Each structure stands twice: as structure tokens, then as C-alpha cells.
Amino acid sequence: MIERIEQIRADGQAAIESAGSADALEALRVELLGRSSELTAILRGIGELPGEQRGAVGGAANRAQKQLEQALTERREELVGDELDRRLAGEQVDVTLPGSPLPAPGSLHLVNQTRREIEDVFCGLGYRVAEGPEIEHDYYNFTALNHPPGHPARMVQDTFYVDPASVDSARWDPDRHPASRPSARLGQERSEARPNLPPGPRDVLLHTHTSPMQVRSMELAPPPLRIIVPGSVYRRDNDATHTPMFSQVEGLAVDEGISLADLQGTLLELARAIFGPDREVRLRPHYFPFTEPSVEVDVSCFACGGTGSVGGRRDPLCKGAGWIEILGAGMIDPNVFGFVREFGYDPETVQGFAFGMGIERIAMLKHAVPDLRLFFEGDLRFARQFR
């Protein structure tokens, strides 16, 4: 009997030590120590043994039971430890690895890409980026930019006017705007003639160009000044080369001793940075109310290579000219400085240049986009070509 007990213990212990999982171990526990196990039967039967055997058999069976229990406990702990080690090894995270890439989150529209490209060029030249309000005073959009009364640019068909009463004053309040100084108030010359009048039907508009920020930024800081002003502008226009909303970047540099040569060098830098060394640039004399002298800057047409014709026919893009106008520019007219003289801009001592370009036009040239309207139709097949 004692030999049998020893056998059960030895076999049991060996089985326990080689058990590979918590489930296998539990099955062994039932088999070795459960109610219907051989060892339990032996322990139960001790009372029926002859007296002289009871002590030895009982002692051996109890010891065997304890040893098996101990072996089960030890093996269980080992298995739990192994499992933890295995899980830790499997779940190891290397925090120094780069993250897995996010699903493509979309991309910037070509207009915004081009705007940033232009901004980069001028930030590299020491310019600051400033933005102005889209709902603007006639004063900043026209008057202070030396548009005399009756100038064609003021004509109703070019400008979207805004009913001043319809503008949410929480979002647009002329008195709360930092640039809104008494002398620069809405319709200055009008209120001189008719003091204390609220803004009239033609005094508030959607800015037709980004140039109003020339005057606003000069009101905000004395010279020297170097800013560019990206923005959406609005005009009553709609055909293959004009849309009611388009984008511009304005530039303004004011200092003492600035000349037309500085303007020319700056625009050459821009043209080379955006279009590369192959594009030709041409400066033509022109007229703008707020610059004197004024120039128009052209870039050679990408569609016809500057010849004006494609396949023997007149190039429709440049209308046969071989050149496409990309921006207007010039030296700040002293009359404009006259409107901001009190802010440190004495026309006798400071000079400056300004320029304004259409962002879509530049993107069209650079990427051979055939129709301006493609920018605004929202067709993903177009947008995705410029990811």
C-alpha cells in the first residue's frame, strides 16, 4: 500500500511538472486529489485497515496529498508567470518607432498651396503676413487709395455693396476695429459734408481687392513696413477669366529711399521663385490710382510658349498676346501717404512700392490650368491632381 502511495505521488508530481497550461493543471488536480481519485479512496479507507498499518499508511497518504498540493501550487505559479512573460513580450511597444501613418486626411486646395508658396517667397524676403476684413469701408477700399469720386472702379457693376444695417455688429463694428481712428472713419469726405450721418447704402462693401490693407496697416504701424496680404476678394464679374470671388496677395514696402529698382528686384525674385528660370517677365507702364508710376507685370504664356498661337490658331488663353498679366504694381502715390501722414508717413520723406496679384492666375500659369472656373467647381478629379 505504501509503495502504491509513493507511486501515485511520484507519477503525479512528474505529470504536474510537465503540465503545459492552467487547464491541464486543473484536470490533473481533479484526477490526483479529486473526490474520485485513488488517493482520496485510500484516505477514506484508512479506518478499515488493520490497526498496526493505519499510522504508516495514513501518514504516507497525507504526506503524498500535501506534496501533490504543493507541486500543483508551484506549477500554477510558474504557468501564470510564463503566461505574463509571454504576453509582455508579445505586447511590447517601442515608443521610439514612428507612428503608423494616418489614413490620407485630404490636402490643401491648389489655391491655398499657391498662396503658401507666395507667402514663403516673401517671408524669406522679410515680409510679414497680414489679413484685412472682407467687409470693408468705402474709405479704405477706394477713397484713401486715391480713387477720385466717379472713378470707374467705383461703378456699381464692379462692386458688391453691403447694407450696413444687415451686418452683424458683433462680428463687424467699425468703431471696434483697431484701425478705426477718427480721421479714418467711414466715408470721411462724405461725413465732412454731412456730419454725424450713419453709413449710407454705398459706404460698406465686399472689398474688391486686398489693397485696403495698405492704408490699414500704415495706420497701425509707422515705417519701415513690409507686409503681404492674402485674401479673397469680390467683384460683380463672371466668365472664363473672371469669377465673383477670387484670391489676391497684396504687397507693400515702405521705407526711406525705396525706388522702382527695389520693386523690380522684388518682382524678379518672385517670378523666379514661382515659375523657374524659363519664364519671361515683362514690365509695362500702366495706370493705377494709388501708384505713380504704375506698372503691369506679365509672364510669358505657358499654353503657346509666348508665341500667341497654338496649332496655327490664336491661343485663346492669352488671346494671342503671348503674355499673361499676373500682377499690378507701382510706387505708392504721395496722395495715399497724404491719408496716413498723421501716422508717420510724410510723403516728403518716405517712399514705397505696392503690388497685387491674383493667386488663381499664378496657379493657372504654373500648373497649366485651362479655365479659372475649375478652381471653384469643387470637382475632386481636379483637386486631386494637386495633392
Q: Which amino acid is at 174?
A: P
CA dist., res. 291 & res. 328, Å (int) = 10
Q: Which of 356, 361, 365, 366 binds ligand DAH (CB under 6 A)?
A: 356
CA dist., res. 287 & res. 41, Å (int) = 116
The count of chain residues that interact with ligand DAH, using the rule CB under 6 A, is: 11
* Under rule CB under 6 A, residue 121 binds ligand DAH: no
CB of 328 to ligand DAH, least distance (A): 3
Residue 249, classified by CB atoms within 10 Å of its CB into exposed (0-12), middle (13-18) or buried (19+), is: buried
Q: Which of 209, 216, 361, 366 binds ligand DAH (CB under 6 A)?
A: 209
Stretch that binds ligand DAH, among 117-125, 268-276, 314-322, 325-333 (CB under 6 A): 325-333
* Under rule CB under 6 A, residue 306 binds ligand DAH: no
* Under rule CB under 6 A, residue 364 binds ligand DAH: no
Q: Cβ contacts of residue 210 below 8 Å, gap of 6+?
A: 132, 229, 230, 231, 233, 248, 249, 250, 356
Stretch that binds ligand DAH, among 63-71, 190-198, 342-350, 353-361 (CB under 6 A): 353-361
Of the two residues 42 and 267, which places its CB atom closer to ligand DAH in the complex? 267
Of the two residues 142 and 343, which places its CB atom closer to ligand DAH in the complex? 142
Q: Which three cell numbers stand for residue 91?
A: 505586447
- Do residues 342 and 250 touch, judged by C-beta distance below 8 A? no
CA dist., res. 258 & res. 252, Å (int) = 11
CB of 210 to ligand DAH, least distance (A): 7
CB of 189 to ligand DAH, least distance (A): 21
* Under rule CB under 6 A, residue 354 binds ligand DAH: yes
CB of 317 to ligand DAH, least distance (A): 20
* Under rule CB under 6 A, residue 355 binds ligand DAH: yes
* Under rule CB under 6 A, residue 329 binds ligand DAH: yes
Stretch that binds ligand DAH, among 49-57, 63-71, 189-197, 328-336 (CB under 6 A): 328-336
As beta bridge partners, residue 250 has: 229, 356
Site for ligand DAH in 31-60 (CB under 6 A): none
Q: Which of 298, 330, 352, 363 binds ligand DAH (CB under 6 A)?
A: 330
CB of 170 to ligand DAH, least distance (A): 29
* Under rule CB under 6 A, residue 229 binds ligand DAH: no
Q: Which residue has the cell 510669358?
A: 300
* Under rule CB under 6 A, residue 288 binds ligand DAH: yes
**For 63, how many CA atoms within 13 A lie in the half-sphere containing its CB?**
11
* Under rule CB under 6 A, residue 174 binds ligand DAH: no
Q: Which of 250, 298, 315, 333 binds ligand DAH (CB under 6 A)?
A: 250
Q: Which of 266, 291, 300, 351 binds ligand DAH (CB under 6 A)?
A: 291
CB of 362 to ligand DAH, least distance (A): 13
Q: Which of 75, 328, 361, 362 binds ligand DAH (CB under 6 A)?
A: 328
By beta carbon distance, the residue nearest ligand DAH is: 356
Residues at the interface with ligand DAH (CB under 6 A): 209, 211, 250, 288, 291, 328-330, 354-356
